[in-house]
Structure 1
Amino acid sequence: MIKKLLNRGIETWLNQSHSDEEFRENSFVFVALTILMLILSFFIYYNVFIDSYPVLATIQGTGVALCLAGYYFLKNRRSTRTAGILTVTIITTISLLFIIGSQNRELALAFCFITPVVAIFILGYKLGSFFSLINFAVVAYFCLTEMQNWQPVPFDSISFIHLAIIYFFLFSIAYFYDSGRRRTMRLLKESNLQLKTLSTTDVLTRLPNRLKMEELLLNSDEVKWIAMLDVDDFKSVNDTYGHDIGDHVLKVIAKQLANTIGDDGVVARWGGEEFLIAFYLSDINAIENKLMELQDKIAAKKFNFERNVTVSCGATPHQRHMHRTAFRRADEALYRAKASGKNCYKLDITAIGMEALQ
């Protein structure tokens, strides 16, 4: 619930949808800036009202000002890279100044661990590595030249506060990064599913297309018969009444085919005015009844022109390992139906076809 509210708040503030490609990166920088501002604000309060340390308070106030600049570049300029560089620069600079200024009092050296995690998450491994190496070089130099002057570090209340802040800062950044990555992967999966659906669906009729049907016929033993169906004299419909009317006729026929076949098979648009039906039925009488029912219902359809629309069919038994032969035989049966006066069906039952029915 909190995560959803946070995402909605960020979407509103950025005026950007969570499905946008840049949303994950922008929201990650936004969260990093916000966490950083909260931590700096706490230390400003601490160094002003509890343990008076004006120099540190001034440095931290400068950090807050730079965070506000980061917000500006993120929201108004849509410059995620600039906002990210500002965020990492603030974290690195203030951490180093605090470590050098305190000489590892109050467990200050622990703050050096923030930079490499945040820098690589926000800026990527190339620029992030650059910041990380600079940070390490400064810390290493300070340690090697000043370590002999350090006093033993007591683990007091402020040391525990520093430890807790660093721990939960890294935890928050890692959690948000991983949740954002998972959300991106989920969106990618949904997008791929949509693309797959589009690639296997006929745009006009919303039936499976030829690619989807061929995949079914090649990988399923459930298909016992196939039927090629062609709209009679469809070219004259387009020529006389226009392609919009022709498209309407195809959509009506497609819907009627799908409704009539139901769970007994799959209907696909094969191309143009041709459809292909894959029947799960094996009984020849059931196939003939379905074909007659289809032709009767389509012929009874009323369109916005005088003539009736009819279809011709050619059907044959199907075997998965010989589907090309079945296509050819169904097409030959369809040709015979056309030659017989149209609005009828023909069956092609050969030795191969009879074997498929066994």
Structure 2
Amino acid sequence: MDSKHNMSGSWTQRERGPEFWKVARLACQLAGTVDVSFFFLFHILDSPILAWINVISVAIYVAAYCALERKQNRLAIRLIWLEVIVHSALGTIMIGWGSGFHYYLLMFIPALFVTMPFQKAVLALAGLWLYYVGLDILMWSIEPVQPISSSALLGVHLFNLSIVFAMFSYLSYFYLSMVLSAQRKLRLLATVDSLTGLFNRRHGSYLAEKEIARFQRAGHPVAFMLLDVDHFKSINDRYGHDIGDRVLTQIGQLIPEQLRTQDLVARWGGEEFLIILPDTDISSALASAYSGPS
């Protein structure tokens, strides 16, 4: 149980890359800007208490942003949690449920599963639900402490709704971009040899079978060359595997330069390389094999 929990926690830490914390910094900037807007808005609506609450909120977001800049990510997340939970409750209690301040609590739902392991995220989600429902029930039993006119309340509601809608849209775009980026990386890892940048053996086999099937179906000739590096073991033994890897990398760059754009190269294994020559007969393949640098 403990080992699974630790693995889950470490997985979450790995998956939260620089892009996530970049978005967190941007969220602090946007939230601080919104609170500055609220400061002036509530002064216009003659609600000085709510106006000065937003000054405190701006200060918290500045502190969270500075913590993110110093890589104090846990502190930053706690500050953001504190601000949103307290500010949502105060705004709702002061001017009513119709103000829409409670919508900001919903933005934590996707963030929970990115910022903590799954089990903790589920518990935090249950606590967030209880808090949200409790605030809803509370506002059924009490009147707003500092009510504002219905037209002003509608304006605040639409403003909050628009901000949350825009931020949810951006977060959805961000998470979609993360998923698509992860898929591209997985496809790349499945087809490319990490050392040489050429196709790996698995994808090379697939391409070879594809060309053979094309030959059997339409009669298009295809040739294959299998190359290996002479005395490669002695290079590793004498200079070490790091130098051997450099040699393979250089060869992986050299081989495609000697071929046509339609030819395919794969690292077949170790110091062996497979070259696939579509639409090439045996005489052209032999000419290609002997035309490279000596």
Interval containing the TM-score (normalised by the shorter chain):
0.5 to 0.7
- 2:109 paired residue number: 120
SS of residue matched to 1:222: helix
Q: 1:114 to 1:44 in 2, by over 3 A?
A: same
Residue 122 to residue 281, structure 1, CA distance change in 2 (3 Å): closer
* TM-score, normalization by structure 1: 0.57
- Which structure's relative contact order is higher, taking Cα pairs within 8 Å and 6+ residues apart? 2
1:134 aligns with 2:127: no
Question: Which residues of 2 match residues 184-223 of structure 1 at below 5 A?
Answer: 184-199=178-193, 203=196, 208-220=199-211, 221-223=213-215
Note the 1:127-276 alignment, pairs <5 A. 127-143=124-140, 145-146=141-142, 155-156=150-151, 158-199=152-193, 203=196, 208-220=199-211, 221-223=213-215, 224=221, 226=223, 234-235=230-231, 251=251, 255=255, 259=259, 263=262, 266=264, 268=266, 270-271=268-269, 276=274
Q: What displacement does 1:153 show?
A: 8.4
Say whether the 8 Å CA contact 1:32–1:87 is kept in structure 2: no
| Corresponding residue for residue 340 of structure 1 | none
User: How big is the shift at 1:141?
Assistant: 2.6
Distance 2:277 2:256 in 1: 16
Q: Give 1:74 deviation, angstroms.
A: 1.7
Mapped pair 1:65 → 2:59: yes
- Report the CA distance between 1:209 and its aligned residue: 4.8
Aligned residues with identical type, % of pairs: 18
Task: Give distance in 2, aligned partners of 1:168 and 1:87.
Answer: 20
Q: CA 1:22–1:211 in 2, change beyond 3 Å: closer, same or farther?
A: closer
Q: 1:236 to 1:123 in 2, by over 3 A?
A: closer
Which secondary structure state, in structure 1, belongs to the residue aligned with residue 130 of structure 2?
helix
Q: Which amino acid aligns with 1:138?
A: L
Q: Classify the secondary structure of the residue corresponding to 2:102.
A: helix
Q: Which amino acid aligns with 1:297?
A: S
Q: 1:276 to 1:192 in 2, by over 3 A?
A: closer
Distance in 2 (CA, whole Å) between partners of 1:154 and 1:62 is 25
Inter-CA distance 214–134: structure 2 relative to 1 (3 Å threshold): same
The question of whether the paired residues in 1 share the 8 Å contact of 2:199 and 2:267 is answered with yes
Shift in CA distance, 226/210, structure 1 to aligned 2, threshold 3 Å = farther
Q: Distance in 1 between matches of 2:85 and 2:78?
A: 10
Change (3 A) 1:165 1:218: same
| Greater Cα radius of gyration, structure 1 or 2 | 1
C-alpha change, 1:294 and 1:146, in structure 2 (3 Å) is: closer
What is the one-letter code of the residue matched to 1:114?
Y
Indicate which of 88, 94, 100 corresponds to 2:87. 94
Quote the offset at 1:76 in angstroms: 1.6
Q: State how far apart, in whole Å, the 2-side matches of 1:51 and 1:169 are.
A: 19
| Deviation per residue, 1:118-164 (Å, 9 max, x gap) | 22133335324423421321331342x326x99x98631x1232122
Take 1:113 and 1:183, find their aligned partners in 2: how far apart are those partners? 24
Q: 1:236 to 1:166 in 2, by over 3 A?
A: closer
Structure 1 portions without partners, runs of 5+: 1-19, 303-358
Aligned partner letter, 1:130:
G
Alignment correspondent of 1:336: none
Tell me the residue number matched to 2:32.
Answer: 37
**Distance verdict in 2 for CA 1:133–1:28, change over 3 Å:** farther
Change (3 A) 1:197 1:140: same
SS at match of 1:111: coil
Q: Output the CA distance in 1 between the equivalents of 2:153 and 2:274.
A: 75
Match of 1:343 in 2: none
Whether the aligned pair in 2 keeps the contact of 1:270 and 1:276 (CA below 8 Å) is yes
2:170 counterpart SS class: helix
1:45 is matched by which residue type in structure 2? F
Q: Secondary structure at the match of 1:58?
A: helix
Instruction: Normalising by structure 2, report the TM-score.
Output: 0.67
- The 1-side partners of 2:68 and 2:25 are apart by 8
Counterpart of 1:31, as a letter, is L
The alpha-carbon deviation at position 276 of structure 1 amounts to 4.8
Distance 1:82 1:216, change over 3 A: same
Q: Is the 8 A contact 1:35 1:169 kept in 2?
A: no
Equivalent residue for 1:287, pick from 266, 282, 287: 282
CA root-mean-square deviation? 4.2
